[in-house]
Amino acid sequence: MASLAISRLGRGLLTVVAGGMLASMVAAAQTDNTALDAQRAAFRQAYAAAAGQGGDGWRALASGLQDYPLYPYLQAASLEHDLHQVDRADVEAYLHRYPDLIPASDLKRDFLQELARRQDWTDFVAMYQPGLGDTLSCDALQAQLAGGAKLDFERDLASLWAQPSLPSECDPVLQAAYDQGLLTPARIWSRIDAAVEAGKAGTVSGLAPWLSPDDAQTARNLALALNDPAAAATAANAWPDAPRMRQAVTLALVRLSRRQSDMADQAWQTLQSHFQFTPEQRDQVLNALAVFHATDYDSNALTRLINLPPSAQTPASREWRARVALAAKNWPAVLDAINAMPVTQQQDDEWQYFRARALSELGRTADAQQAYASVAHQSSYFGYLAADHQGSPYALCSMEPAPDEQVQQSVLVIPGIRRAFELFAVGMIKPARREWNQALASADAQTIRQAVILANQRGWYDRAVFAFNKGDALHYYPLRFPLASQDGLVTQAEQAGIDPSWAYGILRQESAWMSDAQSGADARGLMQLVPSTGAEVARRNGLPWSGGNSLYNPVVNIALGTRYLAQMAGRFDDSPWLASAAYNAGAARVNQWVGARGALPPDLFVATMPFKETREYVARVMYYSVIYDWRLHGNAAPMSTRMVPIGQPYSRLDPPSTRKNLTCPAPAVPAATSSSPAPAAGATTGMVPRNATTH
């Protein structure tokens, strides 16, 4: 009894000691976090001063930050602010202290451009090194000319000359080359050809004055064909039948077909007898006319596509032959169109699905089910549509990378990764991404995998989306499709009256979880709203609005994005698939398409939308919605219940009678374009199965 009592006492003492150690460790971790939070706050203040005011005022705010990973960013920001007045010694001192850092390379590039602006060619030449881009290459050649040296075409210009467009800094260099007699007509035409191929009309126009008068007019005709194909097609009636004129006419007709197929058709009827087009040029025009008459819903489009000469056919014309047949619900023609495709194109999961669809509509049930089975094992939009026709579960082999603490510790001591994580923590996401990419440029797969796990733990979700985009890594669904509950999407979607799974699908497609995403149209943030739309949605819904930059805040962006998505859905009977199309292509265009083909079933309507981008967008959003439904609930509403016929109201409050299980393993059959090909059973190297028997 005594020994038992002593034993109990010993265990009690051990518990007390262990508890005390744990408490000490927790307290130490909290202290470390508090200190780190203080450093981050101090850095933000110091950086704002350095970037906004320059000088040395930031130094007082950065007291105690000398060992903080981002300290070098402060002086670089100050020097960048003062770039017009700093001297070479200041810049070189920074470069000597931080030679391998990204801010140092940026500062060097920017200071060299400043030296070129000052025409301080002595300091420029002393600091310049090749490989810093076309602008600085041309500045270096200006420095060479300023020193009295002549240009050598092969040594100095050949690589630049091959570019279809160049920055304005190159203009004086090119003029000097022309004045030296280096830019022969043959060289000028070679660059014009490259510019035409790249669609750079400005380059073509800029080179025209260096040609003979007749050749200059020909070049201007090529530029006109690029800029205004309708005007070029009209003017071509007065052009002589010469090789480059035929090139310009062909270019104009192909580009005009895309914009106005009827006008292009009329011009072709006139011009084909005026010019002796080559067989290749004739094929280009015939192909463009056939394809774009199809996208314009022309009633004769199918006949045009069927009658295209074999030499004029392309993958695009062959698939549009199938799409036009689908739009007409001409099922024998659908099968003929698919059979006319090359085998590799037929194996695309889209055409496997529509082959099955055609067979079913023609009453060949057994053949249809076999065809559906060939695609239903794929984890993709068409795979899930096929599974709905079969009444089978959805294929999904979800895995998670196994954490490796030892590798993670080695990742955390990589200086570039430390800077990347800190930049992310202080909201400087673009430089964080640059540090990440540079630090892991030559890393092995295991290191990248563990780095992504660490990034995900910190809420940096887009790292998984971009890192796990091929091979076995496609099966890391929990990382590739994060939920990010702290951003409030589920709550905001519920308040907006839309399905959170759909909202997640839109977000994932729009930004791939890049909270700092910005499009060419100035759409911003996770759900890609332009500031004017954000302001209007905020006003309409009584939500706070603090300007366009607030859209980079995930919480703000999601609150406004879900309301805008609900607003868009309300214009289309709350249909998620149709509203997705409108979110991408615009409501006006979708209304036009509905007016032309609104009686089609949803799968056929999506397949016959004129824009490839929108077809793929809707397919991905619908697929991602299923994945997110599974992530939220462990199973998913059938895709077919989300894709209600046009004109039929959709309500997510009327749940389907059954939900889909997502099963693994799926048959190990390779898929040509499956969004996420299923692995062979047991292919789990470096992975941890996630509910593999039921999900």
Greatest alpha-carbon pair distance for the chain in Å reads: 116
- Three-state SS letters, 91-148: HHHHHHHCCCCHHHHHHHHHHHHHHHHHCCHHHHHHHCCCCCCHHHHHHHHHHHHHCC
Of 319, 361, 510, 616, the catalytic one is 510
pLDDT value at residue 499:
96
* Percentage of the chain modeled with pLDDT above 70: 91
Q: What is the mean pLDDT of the chain?
A: 91
Gap between the Cα atoms of 427 and 423, Å rounded? 6
> If you average pLDDT over residues 61-76, what whole number do you get?
96
Give the distance from CA 322 to its chain's centroid: 28
Cβ burial, residue 348 (10 Å; 0-12/13-18/19+): buried
Gap between the Cα atoms of 527 and 504, Å rounded? 9
pLDDT value at residue 29:
52
Least confident among 19-33, 144-158, 430-444: 19-33
Cβ burial, residue 371 (10 Å; 0-12/13-18/19+): buried
CA 256 vs CA 191, 285, 324, 518: distances in Å: 24, 10, 21, 31
In this structure, the dihedral spanned by the alpha carbons of residues 56, 62, 67 and 70, taken in order and rounded to 10 degrees, is: -80
* Percentage of the chain modeled with pLDDT above 90: 88
Q: For 199-242, where are the alpha helices, taking DSSP H only?
A: 201-207, 213-227, 229-235
Question: Using one digit for the tens of pLDDT, what is the confidence trace for 509-555?
Answer: 999 999 999 999 999 999 999 999 999 999 999 999 999 999 999 99
Q: Give ∠ CA 437-441-446 in degrees, rounded to 5.
A: 100
Please tell me which residue, 657 or 668, carries the higher pLDDT value. 657
> If you average pLDDT over residues 294-300, what whole number do you get?
91
> If you average pLDDT over residues 367-376, what whole number do you get?
96
pLDDT band at 16 (very low <50, low <70, confident <90, very high): very low
In this structure, the dihedral spanned by the alpha carbons of residues 428, 431, 432 and 433, taken in order and rounded to 10 degrees, is: 130
Gap between the Cα atoms of 110 and 134, Å rounded? 13
List % helix, strand, coil for the chain (3-state, nearest 5): 65, 0, 30
pLDDT band at 688 (very low <50, low <70, confident <90, very high): very low
Gap between the Cα atoms of 588 and 122, Å rounded? 58
- Cβ-Cβ contacts under 8 Å for 691 (sequence gap 6 or more): 398, 634
pLDDT band at 391 (very low <50, low <70, confident <90, very high): very high
> If you average pLDDT over residues 483-495, what whole number do you get?
93
Q: Is 616 in the active site? A: no
In this structure, the dihedral spanned by the alpha carbons of residues 461, 467, 472 and 474, taken in order and rounded to 10 degrees, is: 50
pLDDT value at residue 653:
78
Question: Using one digit for the tens of pLDDT, what is the confidence trace for 406-416?
Answer: 999 999 999 99
Please tell me which residue, 408 or 695, carries the higher pLDDT value. 408
pLDDT band at 628 (very low <50, low <70, confident <90, very high): very high
On the question of pLDDT at 203 being above 60, the answer is yes
Q: Is the pTM of this model over 0.75?
A: yes
613 phi and psi angles, rounded to 5 deg? -60, -40
pLDDT band at 655 (very low <50, low <70, confident <90, very high): confident
On the question of pLDDT at 3 being above 60, the answer is no
Which secondary-structure segment (H or E) carries 689?
A: strand 687-689
pLDDT value at residue 658:
87
Question: Using one digit for the tens of pLDDT, what is the confidence trace for 634-645?
Answer: 999 999 999 999
- Cβ-Cβ contacts under 8 Å for 444 (sequence gap 6 or more): none
> If you average pLDDT over residues 601-620, what whole number do you get?
97
> If you average pLDDT over residues 345-367, what whole number do you get?
97
pLDDT value at residue 654:
79
Residue 413 amino acid letter: V
pLDDT band at 687 (very low <50, low <70, confident <90, very high): very low
Please tell me which residue, 10 or 193, carries the higher pLDDT value. 193
Question: Using one digit for the tens of pLDDT, what is the confidence trace for 406-464?
Answer: 999 999 999 999 999 999 999 999 999 999 999 999 999 999 999 999 999 999 999 99
